[in-house]
Chains A and B, each alone.
Chain A
Amino acid sequence: MVEENMSFEDNLKELEEIVANLEKGDVSLDNAIEEFKKAMDLVKACDDKLKDAQDTIAKIVKDNGEITDFNVE
């Protein structure tokens, strides 16, 4: 299972490693299937994070420390 709190970078790195390992092809079928499932979970996790993307939410920190939306003029 892909851990929820893993960063996008960690997910991507692990995905790259698993795919490289799968491509070597020297793992047993059972392990390969296990790894493949994990790879698909990671792909989904990465995709989900990318899908969450909306337009950049820009904020501005005011002098008093208050944070409000910042609109580019």
Chain B
Amino acid sequence: MNEEYITVSKVTDYIGELFRSDLNLRHVRIKGELSNVKLYPSGHLYFTLKDEESQIKGVMFAARYKLRFRPKHGMKVLIEGKIEVYNKHGNYQLYADKISKDGVGDLHRRFEELKEKLNKEGLFDESHKKDIPSFPKRIGVITAPNGAAIRDIITTINRRWPICQVILFPSLVQGDKAAENIVYQIRMSQKFNLDTLIVGRGGGSIEDLWSFNEEIVARAIYECETPVISAVGHEIDFTISDFVADLRAPTPTAAAEIAVPPYAEIKNAINQLSDRANMAINKKLDENKIKLDNITSKKIFTNPYEIYAPKEMMLDQIISRLDFSSKSLLMRNKSRLDLVKSSSVFKNPHELFTSQRIVLDNLVGRLDYSSSSLIKDNQNKLAMIKNSNVFKNPDKMFDSQKTVLDGLVNRLDYSSNRLISANRNRLDMVKNSSLFRNPEMIVNSKKEQYLLQFSKLEILNPLNTLKRGYTLAKSDDKVVSSVRDVKSGDELEVEFKDGSVNTKVI
């Protein structure tokens, strides 16, 4: 038996270890009803979770940052977490990681199903989205008349674009009747010639916002001919209305900002456009003024006389020259005319005729004389020809020519005879030469010369040396003439006068 005692801490540690080692307790999912809910300034949430028969203490650290709803007494919840021992109090408790409202899961499922269905039908298609007018004159708002949403929207529009009218179509925005009411007002708003329609409400729980997830609301927005901006809850809240609207605004204030342009900026933009127009026109005017100045400053405008005066001077000169030369031309022609007029032809044409007649008579007379003398000359020449020797005694002329020919024949005869006798003498000389008379003498003398040369050659023949008993040593057909050219073992061919033997040097 163990007599030892252990401390409380030890036993609590031991139990704590048992809890931690149990996988079932490390991750639990528990449903129940909240009570004794306390949210501390630290953000930690303390509560008791219970059902009809049991209860368990629980804590969620920094719950404020994790929960999208405010946990309240009596609220049915689903909790995920772990169960551990709290040593200080010696009890076990639930450490919650996640708390959600029981039944909300069902809403989430419905949300996803409807979203999927409408998406398939094409209600969210971008092609169906209408543009939001930039400068609206009349904006409709469907929301609660007493909520923060309408106040935010009117304030924002008033600040940004006060020339726009806002028409409120009051509607329930939560509860069973809300969806129907919203649909009714969407249809009602169509009669008011609106530029833009804002549909929405301020923040709330998923149940609060649920009417904006109803199918009838989604379809009414889809069918609405006015461009619709949805503005439901806070930035993090997404509803089916957001998907089907032409534009989703994260909050009602944001919806108003999207719906209207900022007045000051537009005013500024118009002023700037006005300034730019003025600058552009001034620039244009300046440009044209410079062009005009350029043109008017040219000489023709400032001092036209300067341009035409030199031309005028030139013109004067030309005119005076023209004047002078025409006058002198006239005078010259006049004097020539006077000369012509004063000539005898004009004064006394008959005299001219008479003088020309004398000239003509003179010419005829001269022509007459010269033709008769020409005839006379030719008659004399003919007479001379007739009296020449050729005509009178042609034989005499023939004889003298024959004498000349005979002389030439005699001279030719004599010189040919001389040429023949000269060539005959040269032939005789050739015939009498020794080559013709004794050719053998020449052959014999050439033969003697040859024999003399041959005997000289015979002395030099090495074979003759062999005949005297000498031998010739050869290696590879080359004559060996020195002992330095051979070594022991070399083969030598020794040639005698009547043959050769192969030998080996020892």
Contact = CB atoms under 8 A, between A and B. Distances in A.
A1 interface: no
A45 B145 CA distance: 35
Nearest to A36: B281
A2 interface: no
Contacts of A56: 154, 157-158, 162, 164-166
A53 B162 contact: yes
Assign chain A's interface to a size class: 35 or more
Contacts of A47: 270
B475 interface: no
Given A9-B134, A9-B135, A19-B277, A58 B263 contact: no
A15 B270 contact: yes
Contacts of B278: 36
Best-surrounded residue of B146, B277, B283 (most CB of chain A within 10 A): B277
Interface string A1-42: 000000111001001101100110100010011001001100
A73 interface: yes
A55 interface: yes
A33 B281 CA distance: 7
B334 interface: no
| Binding site secondary structure of chain B | helix
A58 B166 contact: yes
A18 B165 contact: no
B273 interface: yes
B478 interface: no
B266 A60 contact: no
Nearest to B157: A56
Nearest to A37: B281
A69 to B, nearest CB: 11
Interface string B118-135: 000000000000000111
Contacts of A72: 150-151, 154-155
A53 B165 contact: no
A7 B136 CA distance: 10
A43 B276 CA distance: 11
Contacts of A73: 146, 151
B288 A59 contact: no
Interface in A39-69: 39-40, 43, 46-47, 49-50, 52-61, 65, 67
B280 interface: yes
Contacts of A50: 163, 263, 266-267, 270
A53 B263 contact: yes
B27 to A, nearest CB: 50
A46 B267 CA distance: 9
A43 B155 CA distance: 28
A47 B267 CA distance: 8
Interface of A: 7-9, 12, 15-16, 18-19, 22-23, 25, 29, 32-33, 36, 39-40, 43, 46-47, 49-50, 52-61, 65, 67, 70, 72-73
Given A36-B277, A39-B273, A61-B188, 20 more contacts: A9-B134, A9-B135, A15-B270, A22-B276, A22-B281, A25-B284, A32-B284, A36-B278, A39-B274, A39-B277, A43-B273, A47-B270, A55-B162, A56-B157, A58-B166, A59-B165, A59-B166, A61-B168, A67-B167, A73-B146
7 contacts: A7-B135, A39-B274, A53-B161, A54-B162, A56-B164, A56-B165, A70-B168
